[in-house]
Structure 1
């Protein structure tokens, strides 16, 4: 039997604190969080809500967003605690009709998150979420550690590199300076 693995939120730099309305703390168990967008008008999302839709994993403890997760070893007690914590949010914040329904939904979300972790421990995963004809789709990619010495200017300074994909989707841009200014206003 293989070890239980779940995604944990990962923060390589402070950008999550600028791009999301609320950023998950590093090290939280995470789920994709797509259920937060099921009943929303996705075409009207702007700013931080749009970024959360496009690329945010949901931290189970904080119910806040993270751009990246890392595949991590977990035990049954940690898995059960994540289910219980997520169920609490589903009931208190999203109006699940009772604890039993909340637990069933939370277990499904945690099980789906675990299914994404059929990768080596320590693998970093990013998500890109889209909406097409009323259906939400999620695409996942792994980020790979950059071999040493490739970048003489930043030798050893960058832990990861982004891998180009063959997808023909519009490039997503974030105005980090503008977001930082609006946050301090």
Structure 2
């Protein structure tokens, strides 16, 4: 296998809407290679986490470039060069920000995290993965859920919260008196 061929799969951060930018103190950029990030919480008092830190602990994958959090990741093809770049990005953070004793130790830790992330990718490319992290008996536990892309031609209406239908019927238009309902008037009662 040459260095330009695909060597496997890794998770990438996925942002379907801007919610991660509100949920986490620092959101990962869309499309970053990702790891589970549990190592960021090894020395934390998990019972004392609140707000955005608690949300990051419970459901945040970590982007290796930004060290920001992402609720979802997508299984993606990764070349050897991309895998090595992910190791280098994560090793830099482990050494500079997290205090690894030297670059070699940081690279070893980063490589281990990337391998754990790769082990989550025994799924079809395009599968979306979410995580729930918790503390059990003094240990950090991770549980993963997967969603798969719909097959081409699948029911386009499945999963929608609302479906609007135009009709040609002429009939009475329904109206709701929201103020009347708030003031205790029965539904359908006319306001004077």
Q: TM-score range by the shorter chain?
A: 0.7 to 0.9
**Do structure 1's residue 153 and structure 2's residue 155 form an aligned pair?**
no
Q: Compared with structure 1, are the counterparts of its residues 152 and 130 closer, same or farther at alpha carbon in structure 2 (3 Å cutoff)? A: closer
User: 5+ unaligned residues in a row in structure 1: which ranges?
Assistant: 156-185
Q: Following TM superposition, by how much is the alpha carbon of 1:149 offset from its aligned partner in structure 2, in angstroms? A: 2.1
User: Greater CA radius of gyration, 1 or 2?
Assistant: 2
Give the structure 1 partner of residue 108 of structure 2: 104
Q: Following TM superposition, by how much is the alpha carbon of 1:144 offset from its aligned partner in structure 2, in angstroms? A: 3.6
Q: Compared with structure 1, are the counterparts of its residues 154 and 38 closer, same or farther at alpha carbon in structure 2 (3 Å cutoff)? A: farther
So what's the TM-score if we normalise by structure 1? 0.80
State the Cα RMSD in Å: 1.7
Q: Secondary structure at the match of 2:104?
A: helix
User: 5+ unaligned residues in a row in structure 2: which ranges?
Assistant: 165-192
Give the structure 1 partner of residue 69 of structure 2: 65
Q: Following TM superposition, by how much is the alpha carbon of 1:148 offset from its aligned partner in structure 2, in angstroms? A: 1.8
For these two proteins, the number of residue pairs brought into alignment is 155
Q: Secondary structure at the match of 2:125?
A: coil
What does 1:85-124 align with in structure 2 at a 5 Å threshold? 85-124=89-128
Q: Secondary structure at the match of 1:69?
A: strand
Q: Compared with structure 1, are the counterparts of its residues 152 and 41 closer, same or farther at alpha carbon in structure 2 (3 Å cutoff)? A: closer
Q: Distance in 2 between matches of 1:37 and 1:92?
A: 17
Give the one of 132, 141, 147 matched to 2:136.
132
